[in-house]
Each structure stands twice: as structure tokens, then as C-alpha cells.
Amino acid sequence: MARQAYGSRPLAELVDGAMGEALARQGFASADVIAAWPDIAGDPLGTYSQPVKLEWPKRARPEPDAAPPPATLVILVESAFALDAQHMAPLLIERINALYGWGCVGKIVLKQGPVRRPPPRRPPARPLAPGEEAAIAGATGSVEDASLRDALARLGREIVSRQGRAR
């Protein structure tokens, strides 16, 4: 019996195991297309669209040594970008097939609707001037509890570093 090794592993190794069944129900063999979608579709289409499922055609009898027939990729796209997606469909098919290394996608079907997007990233906080650090240290220096003092100092640094930035 092999002993299981514990420790850190790349997240990519865990995604297929955790999501494999859900992806299989949608026709995806792995999370490759979903994870690489922003790169496959490019900007801005990658932000305003997402692959939903791969629909594989039913086969009567699989022939040995024959490649399976290509699937249809269903993409959810926001209305304003549907025309762009329609024009880019041949390029998207080519990029996906290049990712997999064989002609697995033959057609794209577009469904219009809202696409869930991650919230926009906030820019990093600006570094504080020595005077600002001293003011924060002076304001929190009288707090006796060290963990509370550190938390208040972090809060103060965040507030001061974000001042003057457009919201």
C-alpha cells in the first residue's frame, strides 16, 4: 500500500478533482477552457462572456481509430458583445482546438444573458510618508492591548493611503 504524501500541492491539481463531476455534467473534460477563457477570447470579450457547456453529439457506434465528432460550445455572452462573439466564433474555435490539440469544437452557440464577473481589482495602497507613519504611531501609541493597537494602526495606514484617491 502506497503511503499518501501530505503537503502543499498546486491548486490546478485540486480543481479537477473538486469540480470534475460538475464539469463532466456540462461536457467539459477538465477546467482548461473555463480557466483559460479570458486568454482564449481576449479583451474585452473574455470579460463579458463565459463558456457554459460542451454539447457532444450522440454517436450510434464508435468506430475504432476514428476521432469523435466535434462538440458544440455554448457560450453565455452579454448582449452588447454578442455581435463581437459571433464574428469571433471561427477564431474562438481555432484557439480552443489549439488548446486541446485536436478538433474537439466544431460550432459555437451563443446565449445572451448577464455574465458573472469578478469584482474589479483595487489599486495597491500608496506608500506612506514618514510623517504619516509617525502620526499613526502617535494616535495608536496609548492603546494598551498590542493586538488592538496593531489592528488600529493597520486601519489607519489603509485610510491614510487611500485618501485623495478617486472612488
The model's pLDDT over 48-83, given as tens digits with 9 standing for 90+, comes to 999 988 888 877 566 777 777 888 999 999 988 999
**Total-model pTM:** 0.55
> Could you tell me if 102 and 140 lie in one domain?
no
Specify whether the CB–CB gap between 49 and 115 falls below 8 A.
yes
DSSP 128: P
Q: Which residues pair with 50 in a beta bridge?
A: 76
Residue 120 lies in a domain: no
Q: What is the rounded average pLDDT for all residues in the chain? A: 80
Identify whether residues 64 and 138 lie together within a single domain. Answer: no
Q: How confident is the model at residue 140 (pLDDT cuts 50, 70, 90)?
A: very high
Instruction: Provide the grid cell at 19.
Output: 469540480
Using the predicted structure, report yes or no on whether residue 123 has a pLDDT greater than 90. no
- How far is residue 142's CA from residue 66's CA, in Å, rounded to a whole number? 77
Residue-number span of the structural domain to which 145 is assigned: 130-162
Matching residue, cell 490539440: 101
Same domain, 27 and 62: yes
Q: Is residue 3 part of a domain?
A: no
- My answer on whether 18 and 57 are in the same domain is yes
DSSP category for residue 116? -
103, 136: one domain: no
* In-domain check, residue 135: yes
